[in-house]
Amino acid sequence: MLPLRTKTIAFGLLFALPLTALPAAAAESSAREPVISVAGEGRSTMAPDMAVLTFSVVKQAKEAREALDQNNKAMSDVLAALKKGGIAERDLQTSGFSVQPQYRYPQNNDGEQKPPELIGYQVSNSLTVRVRDLSKLGDIIDQSVTLGVNQGGDIQFTNDKPDAAIEAARKDAVADAIKKAKTLAEAAGVKLGNVIEINESGPRPQPVPVYRAAMMKESADSSVPVQGGETSYNVSVNVTFAIAH
């Protein structure tokens, strides 16, 4: 029988031997499979069926209370008219509100700046409106300006249910990626294999900005002419293909 110390050394060597082979096995298992990775782009358009309108009522007065009362009256009239015109509650959302002091910055005769003087307050109330009947859009803008809207007027045309356009853009993006991969494989003299991985970036709707100007009562002599154009939806995909052996 071996001495106890000798047995301990032999036992240690028995477990040490397999460990020396691990680096080679790990390197072999981590060998990367040859692949082709490409990006595909897809785009689809459709006529918009909804417009998102953002505008504000801005009032100024010497006292904050006075400015707020004036603003509340004008915005209440606008909201009442919009609801009467068929805009649902769910399509009306306050998107901003602020009360800001207004200062004057006088100067002395020698050009030095005097302390600022408080001259009044400005109250701004912003409203976002989703218009689902585009035939009413011009009249809504016109009436809103007449009733007190005096700032904003941004419009973006979009779609309530763009699923069909997004699906078409998605298919085009994958087809574009396959086409690019085939071209690369042919140029490299290899055969394209199966798809290993697909990652999508998007979809990215591209709303159409149409009306972007300060709304003033002087410009509201008639219904505002607007054009909806078309809305684009873009989808990007990254596709990885194996190279067939």
User: Would residue 145 count as lying in a domain?
Assistant: yes
Task: Give the model confidence (pLDDT) of 79-97 as tens digits.
Answer: 999 999 899 999 999 999 9
- pLDDT, tens digit (0-9, with 9 covering 90-100), for 131-182: 999 988 989 988 899 898 998 878 889 999 999 999 999 999 999 999 999 9
DSSP string covering 15-30: HHHHHTTHHHHHHHHT
Cβ neighbour number for residue 146 with a 10 Å cutoff: 13
Strand order in the sheet with 50-61: 92-104, 117-131, 50-61, 151-158, 208-209
217 within some domain: yes
Structure-token pair, residue 133: 């009947």
Is 137:51 a contact under the CB 8 Å cutoff? yes
The pair phi, psi for residue 221, each rounded to 5°, is -75, -25
78 backbone dihedrals φ, ψ, rounded to 5°: -65, -45
Average pLDDT value over all residues in the chain:
83
- Helical H runs in the chain? 4-19, 22-29, 64-84, 137-147, 163-188
Is residue 103 a part of any domain in this protein?
yes
DSSP-assigned letter for residue 110: T
The two three-digit tokens of residue 50, written as one number: 């909804």
Residue 191 counted as domain residue: no
Domain span at residue 56 reads 48-160+208-227
**pLDDT for 195:** 95
How many domains are contained in the chain?
1
CA–CA–CA angle 233, 234, 235 (5° rounding): 125
d(CA 223, CA 129): 17
Instruction: Please check whether residue 124 lies inside any domain of the structure.
Output: yes
Its sign, for the CA torsion 84, 85, 87, 93, is negative
pLDDT on residue 10: 45
The Cα 64–Cα 120 span in angstroms is: 7
Name the DSSP letter for residue 145. H
**113 within a domain of the structure (yes/no):** yes
Residue 153 lies in a domain: yes
Those residues with Cβ within 8 angstroms of residue 201's Cβ, 6 or more apart along the chain or in another chain: 235, 236, 237, 238
pLDDT for the residue 6: 45
Is the bond leading into 203 cis (omega within 30 degrees of zero)? Answer: yes
Ramachandran region of residue 82, left (φ > 0), alpha (ψ -120 to 50) or beta? Answer: alpha
Contact yes or no for 121/64 (Cβ under 8 A): yes
Domain annotation covers residue 154: yes
Write the CATH number for 120. 3.30.70.2970
Is the model's pTM score more than 0.85? no
Per-residue pLDDT of the chain (245 residues; tens, 9 = 90+): 445 454 444 444 344 445 455 555 555 445 678 999 999 999 999 999 999 999 999 999 999 999 999 999 999 999 999 999 899 999 999 999 999 999 998 887 777 878 889 999 999 999 999 999 998 898 998 889 989 899 887 888 999 999 999 999 999 999 999 999 999 999 999 999 999 999 998 776 665 554 444 443 444 445 667 777 788 899 999 999 999 98
Residue 145 near residue 213, CB atoms below 8 Å: no
